[in-house]
């Protein structure tokens, strides 16, 4: 199950800390809105997990003003996050084998 949430910059550090500390076993990705091409100022939290852990996370973060993204906007954010993660993964893998990186002679 995929869920997407939006939250403002002013609570960003708190929410990022809670997600990384208390929900580190739940597969999630935090992206700044500007990095995904959105004009919003804040963050998207992409969660891909079963409904029980996702519901626990949502209940915990509700007090910070987190908003669930639905419909076409959710689909667009999911596509953007997945594409960004694939690009980052392939870039990291490519640089491992690129001549001059690891095999550079002094």
- pLDDT, residue 98, reads 61
Residue 52 maps to a domain:
yes
Residue 35 maps to a domain:
yes
Q: Where residue 17 sits, what CATH number does that domain have?
A: 3.30.70
pLDDT in tens, 11-20: 988 998 999 9
* Percentage of the chain modeled with pLDDT above 70: 85
Which run of H or E residues covers position 88? helix 71-97
pLDDT in tens, 29-70: 888 887 777 777 888 899 988 889 999 999 999 998 899 989
Structural domain total, the chain: 1
| pLDDT category of residue 105 using cuts at 50, 70 and 90 | very low
| Domain encompassing residue 10 | 2-97
The Cα 44–Cα 22 span in angstroms is 18
Residue 50 maps to a domain:
yes
């Amino acid at each position: 199950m995929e869920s997407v949430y939006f939250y403002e910059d002013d609570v960003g550090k708190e929410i990022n800390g809670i997600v990384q500390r208390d929900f580190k076993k739940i597969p999630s990705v935090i992206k700044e809105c500007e990095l995904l091409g959105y004009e919003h100022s804040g963050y998207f939290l992409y969660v891909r997990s079963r409904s029980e852990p996702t519901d626990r996370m949502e209940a915990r973060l509700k007090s910070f003003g987190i908003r669930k993204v639905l419909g076409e906007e959710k689909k667009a954010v999911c596509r953007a996050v997945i594409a960004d993660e694939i690009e980052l993964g392939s870039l990291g893998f490519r640089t491992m084998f690129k001549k001059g990186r690891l095999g550079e002679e002094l």
